[in-house]
Chain A
Amino acid sequence: MSTVAVLGAGAVGARVARQLLTSDVVEQVVLRDISAERLARASRALGNRCRVEHHPFPGALEADLVVVATPRGTHLEAVNETIAARRPAVLVGDGLAETIAVLRRSGDAARAGVPIAVGSGFGPGMSCVLAAHGASWFDEVDEVHVAKAGTGGPACALVHHRALSRRSYDWRVDDGSRTGDWVRRAGGSGRELAWFPDPVGPRDCYRAALPDPVLLHHALPTVGRITARVAATRRDRLTAPLPMLSPPHVEGGTGAVRVEVRGRRGEASDVVVLGATERPAVAAAAVAATTVEWLLAGRHRVAGMAGLAEMVEPVAFLSDLAARGLEASIFEGERSLS
């Protein structure tokens, strides 16, 4: 039995702690947050197997694994500490710049042999597993396009708000020279209608500063085109360059991820569209808690830093998520794949 530290007792962190305590794998959860109010609320709900630590935190973290579910801007410091302590970590973050900064420490994590799962939420996270699963259906994958709708807690809503006004990073291999490079485009551009699983349905999606292409390019380096978009309204795009004028909601409604994989099987070109729908914070907690259990059980495939597309075996991981109530779906249009 293990002790797991959860940094952040927000919409995702508190749920990760609850899910871990309901499993047989974790004996105790150490919950840290700078907000005494959030800690008190979580402590009341989680019982005596949850030990809360208030700010300023005691120096040493006594845990076998760390879940980082804190707001943006705090993950790199947590990763540096976890690598120094040679302690596995699960990161639940969706900011592009922070993900790139964290991935720059992948060499150190590999040398230390510490498994660190980056982007272990709904999107990225579930989206990466779906992409890996969809890619396994093809002999050769040409394109992966990720779209997500909805936000979790206030920190997630802030990242979503900012992402629409930042530059997106799409991976593209030039057809002529066959060399690939990152294509930076303005956030909020490139409208596409994406059909998410019910009840989310069709939403207009736009380019945004999302980390999915960075993580997926690392996992699927031969894919020629990787893009990510986020569902947004005209009001979202209009106000994206401004500071958030009203405080973000405590938790958003139902969200979804959708992953479109295009490739070839034999001589035939085909497309697979996979997706999932759930409240983003609930889904992110399920993905993070399942990742924790996989790392503690030694089921991870990378002894270093990686996204979930590389870190876990997709079919077994999706089966575990389905057992937690987070089911993956496939879109079957007029051209059924089955």
Chain B
Amino acid sequence: MQVIRRALAAVSVAAAVAAALRINGADGIARRSGGWRPLAGPNLR
């Protein structure tokens, strides 16, 4: 019985940690190519 309780507690803690990590997310992704520039010219291109 104690083994089951410990296993359940471990699974619960792992699930809570995983949920917290997933909700908080990670840092953004660094851009590797391309970029934005303002539209310019008489036709705004």
Contact = CB atoms under 8 A, between A and B. Distances in A.
A85 interface: no
Contacts, number: 54
A315 B43 CA distance: 6
Interface in A240-265: none
A331 to B, nearest CB: 5
Given A197-B36, A329-B36, A331-B36, 16 more contacts: A193-B29, A201-B28, A201-B31, A202-B28, A234-B22, A234-B23, A238-B23, A315-B43, A319-B44, A327-B39, A328-B39, A329-B38, A330-B36, A330-B39, A332-B35, A333-B33
B35 A318 contact: no
A197 B43 CA distance: 20
Nearest to B35: A332
Contacts of A328: 38-39, 44
Interface string B1-31: 0000000000000000000001111001101
Contacts of A315: 42-44
A2 interface: no
B23 A275 contact: no
A235 interface: yes
Contacts of A294: none
Interface string A162-205: 00000000000000000000000000000001010110011000
Contacts of B36: 197-198, 275, 329-332
Interface residues of B, number: 18
Contact of A333 (B23, B24, B34, B45): B34
Nearest to B39: A328
Which 8 pairs of residues, A with B, have the shortest CB-CB distance? A333-B34, A329-B36, A197-B36, A328-B39, A234-B23, A327-B38, A315-B44, A334-B33
A314 B43 CA distance: 10
Contacts of B22: 234
B37 A334 contact: no
A72 interface: no
Contacts of A331: 34-36
Contacts of B23: 234-235, 238
11 contacts: A137-B45, A201-B28, A235-B24, A238-B23, A315-B44, A318-B44, A328-B39, A330-B36, A332-B36, A333-B34, A338-B45
A233 interface: yes
Interface in A312-338: 314-315, 318-319, 322, 327-334, 338
A282 interface: no
Contact of B39 (A198, A234, A318, A333): A318
